[in-house]
DNA sequence: GCGTATCTGACATACGTATGTCAGGTCAAA
DNA sequence: TTTGACCTGACATACGTATGTCAGATACGC
């Protein structure tokens, strides 16, 4: 009772191997009648193409492109590193990936990058960038060319991408809210909320989740309006000192920003790290060491290794027309505290 | 500059394909001189065997056996389900797995199961069972027969297994301690600690981690001696009522046990679920719904899907003599609260 | 009946590896 | 010199699939 092969299909359908091949690979020149016979045989025997053998015969190479923001983000750095590591491990599986760094704040640059993709030399694209109308159109154009496209980290809900590889950011915001609410031992107080830019879809969604849960479960804790830091040390220093002065009841900080180093520096100088509950996003060298030192209380994280491996698996499955294991591709919202940091 | 093949090796080493094959597959009948030449060529060209092509030629089947505890544990149930799902997805990769349920409390039964394994009909074993001298010997015997063996969930430190697929349980205990300490809003109080059996290695390690962190960070919180429940509803009811009576300052519960349903029932009846901080292990239907209802405050979890996929990947790599990606195989200690439950 | 377009099957070759057979080679011991 | 042990290379076949060529079959309009 071995796995059926194309030969079994041919025998079962009463046609030749060539015909089976023409049907399976959607080539023309087969009567509808025979197409049906083959499909019925496939169905009956439960045939699944052996992708490994097929790839061997085709000398297939999966060439994927990752479009990532440039700039000095530790998160993107760890993401790139994880990608390179994953690809090194998948080299035997004929998977290669190239990274294209673009200025994510410039929609035009993203469009240019996407338009430069030659569908004949690339088999799939993963994109981490904010969605603008231009970007959306460029993606639709790629999809028309038959390329699978997945959104990475930040969703692109209007671009008809094949898959979103990332966490539910509204839930991530709620998770942060619950941790803040439970770690803060008072019933009343205000919470400083910072991010790089409120243009990014993930920031918007996280803020939404934060407010929702705070209002519901911790009405005494008031998250202040989101402050945009734009990765600017001067601005960060200014924001922190105003916040400390204006809000004597400050009890916690929720940072969705990437510039946590400068933020921590200011708070350290103000000697406020011990009495403030600090929840940040993404595990980087900065947040890890702050966790270990007890300066940051919890980090909301998505596993970069899981992200890139999932993106690669999904892209490969789409290229091969195979289905995916949803449970394996769900990216979890991970909570990291000092003790499960490793 | 494609990936080198055996042909390239043969040309580079100046020998025939047959000789290359004899060297690569460690067959006898090659002069040491030529063995060296082939090995040098492999090194120089960076040859890696194409496992897919090799498996195709060999018609290889990976037949793995999972030895799991029987009995009505929801955790083992979800583990089995995850295994079946993973195997269904890997069927095209020639991976099959069979589950053998044994009475994990009976070392003799485990040994019998392990001895029944025919190395000719099985390519690797994953074991979730407590380590006893008999079990250790049976495992060593399997390894002598050339079978790769991995420990699942609970480590087998003296059995010389190829790999441990699971979390660091001492860290899991510390993680639970930190959550309890921060969620409990008082500085003083006692904590009820329950498990099924203190014989299981994971329970011992978790308790150790718990005590370590509590003493260090929350000296006012006193974890009571571990109570063994043995999955017995009567015993559970009795333990809970004594604990509630004797310890008026009870502030939290740490459950490493599987019988959380009965435990929750008792506390529900005593109306103590709202003021007690409850931290449990493993996400099951019972703990999930208790999390959603706010009865359990946090669950320490290891992803069963990740566990089984990791075990399968590692076993396959061992069979093929390939290396593994350590980052991918590290099982994380996951913290689940209501908001990141999904 | 013809020519033509469309369909079908037989066959060959390839992908990278595994495995077996067999003739011929070298070299030491008999 | 012969025998045998050992080593080597040439060649064939296979795994499951992809792809191409080409002869022959079928059906159609005329």
Would you give per-residue pLDDT tens digits along chain B (342 residues)? 578 999 999 999 999 999 999 999 988 888 889 999 999 999 999 999 999 999 999 988 899 999 999 877 888 999 999 999 888 877 778 899 999 999 988 889 999 999 999 988 899 999 999 889 999 999 999 999 999 999 999 889 999 999 999 999 999 999 999 999 999 999 999 999 999 888 778 899 999 999 999 999 999 998 999 999 887 888 888 988 899 999 999 999 999 988 789 899 999 999 998 899 999 999 999 999 999 999 999 999 999 999 999 999 999 999 988 888 888 899 999 999 999 997
Nearest nucleotide from residue A47 CA, by C1' atom: D16
B55 within some domain: no
A342 within some domain: no
Does residue A1 surpass a pLDDT of 70?
no
CB-based contact B337 A52, cutoff 8 Å: no
For residue A159, CA distances in Å to A118, A154, A156, A170, B273 come to 19, 12, 6, 20, 46
Looking at the structure, tell me whether residues A251 and A310 fall in a common domain.
no
Closest C-alpha to B122, from B99, B88, B91, B155? B99
Looking at the structure, tell me whether residues A155 and A78 fall in a common domain.
yes
Measured from the Cβ of residue B52, the count of other Cβ atoms closer than 10 Å reads 19
pTM of the shown model = 0.86
End-to-end Cα distance, chain B: 47
Report how far residue B181's alpha carbon sits from residue B223's, in angstroms, rounded to the nearest whole number: 11
Nearest residue to nucleotide D11, by CA–C1' distance, is B18
- CA→C1' distance for A36 and C2 (Å): 33
A1 within some domain: no
Looking at the structure, tell me whether residues B193 and B271 fall in a common domain.
yes
CB-based contact A333 B327, cutoff 8 Å: no
Element (H, E) at B285: helix B285-292
Residues 24-83 of B with CB under 7 A from strand D: 28-31, 33-34, 53, 56-57, 59
Measured from the Cβ of residue B161, the count of other Cβ atoms closer than 10 Å reads 24
Residues 6+ apart with CB under 8 A from A341: A283, A288, A291, A292
Asked if strand D comes closer than 7 Å to A5 Cβ, the answer is yes
B254 within some domain: yes
Number of domains in chain B: 3
Looking at the structure, tell me whether residues A101 and A158 fall in a common domain.
yes
Q: Tell me chain A's radius of gyration from C-alpha atoms.
A: 25
- Rounded to 5 degrees, what are φ and ψ at A298? -155, 150
Looking at the structure, tell me whether residues A69 and A182 fall in a common domain.
no
pLDDT at B230: 84
Looking at the structure, tell me whether residues A142 and A208 fall in a common domain.
no
B263 within some domain: yes
Q: Where are the alpha helices (DSSP H) in chain A?
A: 6-13, 17-24, 32-45, 51-58, 74-90, 107-115, 133-144, 169-183, 201-217, 233-246, 260-269, 285-292, 304-320, 326-329
- Rounded to 5 degrees, what are φ and ψ at B133? -55, -40
Looking at the structure, tell me whether residues A182 and A111 fall in a common domain.
no
Domain boundaries, position B229 = 169-301
Section A249-277 average pLDDT: 91
Residues 6+ apart with CB under 8 A from A282: A74, A75, A258, A299, A300, A301, A302
CATH number at residue B107: 3.40.50.2300
Does residue A213 surpass a pLDDT of 80?
yes
pLDDT in tens, A9-25: 999 999 999 999 999 99
CB-based contact A86 B55, cutoff 8 Å: no
- CA→C1' distance for B124 and D12 (Å): 34
Q: How many CA atoms lie within 13 A of B170 on its CB side?
A: 7
A183 within some domain: yes
Looking at the structure, tell me whether residues B291 and B313 fall in a common domain.
no
Residues of B in Cβ contact (< 8 Å) with A342: 168, 171, 330, 332
Report how far residue A149's alpha carbon sits from residue A215's, in angstroms, rounded to the nearest whole number: 37
A322 within some domain: yes
Looking at the structure, tell me whether residues A283 and A308 fall in a common domain.
no
Residues of A in Cβ contact (< 8 Å) with B338: 178
Section A122-137 average pLDDT: 93
Helix (H, G, I), strand (E, B) or coil at B109: helix
């Amino acid at each position: 009772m071995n796995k059926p092969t194309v030969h079994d299909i041919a025998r079962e359908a009463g046609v030749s191997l060539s015909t089976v091949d023409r049907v399976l690979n959607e080539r023309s020149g087969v009567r509808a009648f025979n197409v049906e016979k083959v499909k019925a045989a496939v169905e009956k025997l439960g045939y699944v193409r052996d992708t490994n053998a097929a790839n061997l015969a085709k000398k297939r190479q999966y060439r994927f492109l990752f479009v990532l923001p440039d700039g000095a983000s530790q998160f993107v750095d760890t993401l790139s590193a994880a990608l390179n590591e994953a690809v090194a491990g998948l080299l035997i599986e004929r998977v290669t990936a190239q990274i294209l760094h673009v200025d994510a704040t410039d929609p035009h640059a993203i469009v240019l990058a996407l338009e430069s993709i030659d569908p004949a030399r690339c088999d799939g694209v993963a994109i981490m960038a904010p969605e603008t109308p231009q970007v959306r159109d460029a993606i639709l154009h790629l999809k028309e060319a038959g390329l699978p496209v997945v959104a990475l980290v930040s969703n692109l809900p209007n671009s008809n991408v094949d898959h979103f590889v990332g966490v539910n950011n509204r839930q991530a915001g709620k998770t942060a809210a619950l941790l803040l609410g439970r770690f803060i031992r008072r019933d009343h107080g205000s919470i400083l909320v910072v991010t790089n830019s409120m243009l990014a879809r993930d920031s918007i969604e996280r803020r939404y989740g934060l407010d929702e849960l705070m209002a519901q479960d911790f009405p005494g804790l008031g998250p202040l309006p989101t402050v945009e830091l734009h990765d600017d040390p001067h601005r960060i220093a200014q924001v922190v000192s105003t916040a400390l002065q204006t809000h004597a009841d400050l009890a916690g900080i929720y940072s969705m920003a990437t510039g946590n180093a400068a933020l921590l520096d200011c708070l350290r100088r103000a000697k406020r790290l011990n009495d403030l509950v600090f929840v940040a996003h993404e595990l980087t060298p900065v947040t890890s060491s702050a966790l270990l030192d007890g300066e940051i209380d919890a980090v909301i994280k998505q596993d970069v290794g899981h992200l890139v491996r999932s993106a690669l698996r999904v892209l490969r499955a789409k290229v091969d027309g195979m289905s995916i294991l949803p449970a394996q591709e769900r990216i979890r919202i991970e909570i990291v505290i000092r003790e499960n940091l490793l």
